[in-house]
Amino acid sequence: MNHYLYKLHHHIKLYLFGDEEQPVRCAGNSGKIQHHKSIEDAGACLQNEALSMGKRIEAAHHLGVLAYTGGYVSGTMAADYIPTMAELLPRQDLVDEHLVTLLQALSSVCYAHLANQARVCHLGVPAMLPIILTHGSPHSPLVKRWACYLMDVLCINNVPTIRALACTRGLQGSLEAIAEQDWDGWPKNHAAILLKILGFWPADKEADLEDGGDEEEGEMSGPTAHAHTP
């Protein structure tokens, strides 16, 4: 795992667990069975339209945790519920707290899982994210930073998505505005990274913006402090 992917891994781990170390694999067949059953239960709650939006978003959070901690097979199981998360993402009735949690869940499900990444892209999620980032968007800076983070995850080893985003009108201006914001507490300034990945900036431009703040393990508290569990 290269240095950049390690930072992404550590960032998601902090969002899920804070500074407390947690096992990332299930021990034994019984543990795996229970883990997979928990994925099915969370997915069922996510898809249950009779539940409140808060309960469904809470289920998305649990699904992201389970997919991320359970390994590749668990991530594959969670793929069955990606369409529901993609369907919820553009809904106008989502409050920012819920939108942050949904973006986090999608990031967790897609992390280091190219098949899930491809499915999310096929469902049009990359095209939804620039809308969140626009200057006229009503969403908070935290929502926009997490949208940048998910976009960054979706660009990893994904040339078609990079090309599509690079052609998105107005995206460069949105990313430049967000790159100038305070990314303190994040391991990287993901808006600045996207500006380079998408070819809007040369690779050597504004290198200082790429670092979000103190990268020491105990200091990356910004996203963790703001992460919302409904």
Position 162 confidence tier, pLDDT thresholds 50, 70, 90? very high
At 10 the pLDDT is 55
Is pLDDT at 4 greater than 90 in this prediction? no
pLDDT tier at 208, thresholds 50, 70, 90: low
Tally the domains of the chain. Answer: 1
pLDDT at 209 over 80: no
Task: Please name the residue that has the structure tokens 């983070």.
Answer: 149
Q: Is 200's pLDDT higher than 80?
A: yes
Query: Is pLDDT of 57 > 70?
Result: yes
Residue 176 has pLDDT above 60, yes or no: yes
Q: How long, in residues, is the chain?
A: 230
What's the pLDDT tens digit per position in 77-131?
999 999 999 999 999 999 999 999 999 999 999 999 999 999 999 999 999 999 9
Instruction: Provide the pLDDT confidence category of residue 33 given band limits of 50, 70 and 90.
Output: confident
Reported confidence tier of residue 222, pLDDT bands at 50, 70, 90: very low
CB-CB neighbours of 213 under 10 Å: 17
Radius of gyration for the alpha carbons in the chain, expressed in angstroms and rounded: 17
pLDDT confidence tier of residue 201, bands split at 50, 70 and 90:
confident
Does residue 39 register a pLDDT over 50? yes
Domain hosting 158: range is 3-226
E strands within 72-159?
none
The pTM is what? 0.80
The reported pLDDT for the residue numbered 211 is 57
- Other CB atoms within a 10 A radius of the CB of residue 159 amount to 8
Q: Which has more pLDDT, 213 or 57?
A: 57
Q: What percent of the chain has pLDDT over 90?
A: 67
**For residue 65, pLDDT beyond 90:** yes
Q: Is the dihedral of CA 193, 196, 201, 203 positive or negative?
A: positive
The string over 2-25, giving b where at least 16 C-beta atoms fall within 10 Å of a residue's C-beta and e elsewhere, is eeeeebbbebbbbbbeeeeeeeee
pLDDT (average), residues 195-209: 76
Measured between alpha carbons, how far is residue 165 from residues 48, 50, 98, 128, 226 in Å? 32, 35, 25, 11, 27
Q: What is the CATH number of the domain that holds 111?
A: 1.25.10.10
What is the pLDDT, as a whole number, of residue 196?
95
